Chain A
Amino acid sequence: DVKVTQSSRYLVKRTGEKVFLECVQDMDHENMFWYRQDPGLGLRLIYFSYDVKMKEKGDIPEGYSVSREKKERFSLILESASTNQTSMYLCASSFPGRSPLHFGNGTRLTVT
């Protein structure tokens, strides 16, 4: 079974803090993705990576950056957290090409 593990289920941070969300997958997938999920808006793509040290912007990259130093790990970074970044963050991974994405259980981030 594919396992995508997000390091925290819940996080509470203050405005202006630097926040790291970590994601690890154990299936040797090349592709990894970060989405955020908000009520009424569905899932929106923030960043994705198709190889180590490679990254591509998704639909809403502003205010975020990512790091992929190892194949199994993809980190989402909020350089200076703001209240409008309060959301559920979902990490996913897949093989290249037409391959389904497998999701972690999400990190619910609250920025106060």
Chain B
Amino acid sequence: GQQLNQSPQSMFIQEGEDVSMNCTSSSIFNTWLWYKQDPGEGPVLLIALYKAGELTSNGRLTAQFGITRKDSFLNISASIPSDVGIYFCAGQDSNSGYALNFGKGTSLLVTP
């Protein structure tokens, strides 16, 4: 599978701050997805993006599918303590049966 470059690797912020993370790939994907994983749990889907240029929001979360189809970003506004977790980007293509290629994750810590 394709290796995705996700950054930053970790973030340590104060409650109320905005957060931005991004993901790049050397190849094109048809779909970009963002997942969040809480400790001891499986990843949970936050946002799915299906079209180049698409900008989608889910509450305080906003994600965009890059025009080149090789990148995506996720923004979290006004962070709260329950935003703590690991955020993964994932690209999906038809070459691997639509399995997901994952970034290595961004670990987010939010202090009150």
Residues of A within 8 A of B (CB): 4, 31, 33, 35, 40-45, 48, 50, 56, 58-59, 90, 92, 94, 96-106
Contact = CB atoms under 8 A, between A and B. Distances in A.
Interface of B: 1, 30-31, 33, 35, 40-45, 48, 50, 88, 90, 92, 96-105
Given A48-B96, A103-B35, 17 more contacts: A31-B97, A31-B98, A33-B100, A42-B102, A42-B103, A43-B88, A43-B102, A44-B102, A45-B1, A45-B99, A45-B100, A45-B101, A50-B97, A58-B96, A58-B99, A98-B50, A101-B90
Nearest to B100: A101
B1 A58 contact: yes
* Shortest Cβ-Cβ A-B pairs, 4 listed: A103-B42, A42-B104, A43-B102, A105-B42
Contacts, number: 67
A102 B41 CA distance: 12
Contacts of A59: 1
A84 to B, nearest CB: 19
A26 to B, nearest CB: 15
Contacts of B100: 33, 43, 45, 92, 101
